Structure 1
Amino acid sequence: MNLTIRHLKIFITVYDERSMTKAAKKLFMTQPSISQVIKELENYYNVILFERLSHKLYVTKAGEKLYTVARQIINLLDEAKDTLGIADLQKNLAIGVNYTIGSKLVHRYIQKYERLYPGSEISVNVNKAPKLIEMLRNGELDLALIEERDNEADLIQKFFYHDRVVIIANPKHALCQKKYVNPEDIINEHLLLRDRGAGVRNLFELRMKELGLGIKPYWESTSTTALISAAENNFGIAVLPFQLVQEKIDNGSLKEIKIKGMDLDRKLMIAYHKNKFLTSSMLEFVKICHQTEEIKSLQLAK
């Protein structure tokens, strides 16, 4: 094993918290990942750093000695960062976002982050989740804000926003005259859909498949604007995130079609590679995402 600064920073957090679970929560890591790092350190130095008794952690003499040295190392590195201006560079972030977040949400987080870190730079890549995940794995992104993904064992995903997909059409459309429609009622309609691989398209296809129903797109587009315009002009019914069409529904140019027995809710997640060590600025951005949406939820509930 190669000893890294990441090992020492995680060890310091476990020492300070006296809990691997609390350290994992603070660092936005999984508890098994924290345990693995401590085990690697113990194997590296051939010592026991923590005694595990009655579900509590007790620091050993070896752990106390390593903590003193680790603190000195980290303090010296922090001093070097300040001297060389590296700390300012670490405030720069590379963020990936899906189309919904890129259009409606991410600007709120960036504005708050820039107030906290004036002069910092955040690069944003708006793309489909599969591409953003590939970029996370290649180290091209620090964080990605995307729809929840299954079977991505090398990613850590933290929920931060509840979203839903809606089916919308021109208010004059025949289906808009009904309070509710059955899933079977939309099979033969002109479906205006995002292109394959888009999260909203995947969710809609999955829910229809679960009901034993197949779909045939009338329009397919990478542009949500084109689909919204087509629906407004009564070319068919569009399947899109609520965030992107809320204003159109509110002003009456589009109307939501309610489908019986179809759950189109979805979770939006903050994702990063499990081996990614989150700097203090990355952790701050994650916190901003959570707090911004928590505050908004409280305001809407009043």
Structure 2
Amino acid sequence: MTLRHIRIFVTVYQCESITKAAAKLHLAQPSVSLAISELEEYYGLRLFDRMARRIYITEAGRQFYSYALHISSLFDEMEKGMKKSGSTGTLRVGAGITIGSRLLPELLVRFRKQHPDFRVKALIKNYSAVEEALLSNQIDFALVEGSPSAPQFVDIPFMKDRLCLLCGPSHPLAKKDCVLPDELLPFDFLMRETGSATSEIVKSLCSLHGLKITPAWESASNEAIIEALKKSLGITILPRLVVQKDLLNGSLKEVGLKNINLERIFSILYHKNKYLPEVAREFIAFCSVTAEELCRDDAMPELPPG
């Protein structure tokens, strides 16, 4: 079994076709088929099922892919590292919507003052998309809200945040300083889209406390939800990091929520088999020191406990 076998397998897996993989690799189709057969014989496993002139990945194949992809990417990283001359490298970083819009830009600006020549390739999407990008090696690491759902990740907590129950200043709920969960039921709920970390946390909290909430709105944009809140179209739960300025200027009202802990941890994730470039390791260490400082710069008084 050689690196050539691994590269061929990764390409077949990604193309879902031996014919397409052969064309992409500029190899004869029989050579690709032979390489897959040799891998299967070597490990004594079936990596693909062949049915009706199509191939279907097996569970063993999926497991092998997670290793093969990172072995291949590690070799590529070595090639780039050995061949580069004077380059400081590229950060391939992912982030959830909240961190990507409110925290990551300032972190990168401050990091660049120490490393003026590094380049950035950023992916800002909801949590499930960022996690998939990590698994497929599109990014080296990610800054996310919450904890990973996959066991393949190393999880490094780097700051605390909390969610807020929010409404507009003219909404009926704004007259109250603190409410019980059941008091939310009469109001329209504005929700982040399925797959976002905030949405999954809110759904888990609702399930834990027996609340059945059907969202009146579902949006991938925090800004769209905030504008709807300001017009009293409903209530929501969003990260405090997103709404600090709106709370300070009075355009939104935070209401305490009794008996529910809305604190959470922001984490840095990377694949346990991933070799991190030096600039990535330095940025991860930098985040752990700097993120909390950034939030203190924008700090506002805490809501009194319910």
- When the two structures are superposed, what TM-score results if normalisation uses the length of structure 1? 0.69
The CA distance in 2 between the partners of 1:230 and 1:109, in whole Å, is 29
Tell me which moved more, 284-293 or 116-125. Answer: 116-125
How far residue 150 of structure 1 moved from its aligned partner, in angstroms, is 4.5
Q: For residue 226 of structure 1, what is the aligned residue in structure 2?
A: 224
The CA distance in 2 between the partners of 1:189 and 1:232, in whole Å, is 15
The aligned length equals 224
Matched, 1:202 2:200: yes
Matches within 5 A, 1:95-244: 95-244=93-242
Distance 1:293 1:191, change over 3 A: same
Matches within 5 A, 1:57-76: none
Matched, 1:85 2:84: yes
Distance 1:243 1:179, change over 3 A: same
Q: Quick one: percent identity of the two aligned structures?
A: 29
1:4-59 deviations in Å (ceiling 9; x for gaps): xxxxxxxxxxxxxxxxxxxxxxxxxxxxxxxxxxxxxxxxxxxxxxxxxxxxxxxx
The CA distance in 1 between the partners of 2:292 and 2:223, in whole Å, is 29
1:246-279 deviations in Å (ceiling 9; x for gaps): 1111000110011111112111100000011222
Tell me which moved more, 285-294 or 143-152. Answer: 143-152
Matched, 1:278 2:276: yes
The CA distance in 1 between the partners of 2:217 and 2:287, in whole Å, is 34
1:258 is paired with a residue of what secondary structure? strand
1:173-221 deviations in Å (ceiling 9; x for gaps): 2211112111001122111111111111111111111011111111111
1:157-187 deviations in Å (ceiling 9; x for gaps): 1000111111111112221111211100112
How far residue 294 of structure 1 moved from its aligned partner, in angstroms, is 4.6
Please, what is the CA RMSD of the aligned residues?
2.4
How far residue 241 of structure 1 moved from its aligned partner, in angstroms, is 1.1
How far residue 295 of structure 1 moved from its aligned partner, in angstroms, is 3.9
The CA distance in 1 between the partners of 2:103 and 2:293, in whole Å, is 14
The CA distance in 2 between the partners of 1:208 and 1:298, in whole Å, is 30
The CA distance in 1 between the partners of 2:249 and 2:296, in whole Å, is 24
Q: For residue 64 of structure 1, what is the aligned residue in structure 2?
A: none
Contact 1:112 1:288 (C-alpha < 8 Å) held by counterparts = no
- When the two structures are superposed, what TM-score results if normalisation uses the length of structure 2? 0.68
The CA distance in 2 between the partners of 1:290 and 1:233, in whole Å, is 37
Give the residue type in structure 2 aligned to 1:263: N
Q: For residue 28 of structure 1, what is the aligned residue in structure 2?
A: none
How far residue 238 of structure 1 moved from its aligned partner, in angstroms, is 2.1
Contact 1:203 1:264 (C-alpha < 8 Å) held by counterparts = no
The CA distance in 1 between the partners of 2:236 and 2:162, in whole Å, is 14
Give the residue type in structure 2 aligned to 1:246: Q
Contact 1:165 1:240 (C-alpha < 8 Å) held by counterparts = yes
Q: What are the ranges of 5 or more consecutive residues in structure 1 without an aligned counterpart?
A: 4-76
How far residue 2 of structure 1 moved from its aligned partner, in angstroms, is 8.7
Distance 1:243 1:116, change over 3 A: same
How far residue 87 of structure 1 moved from its aligned partner, in angstroms, is 5.2
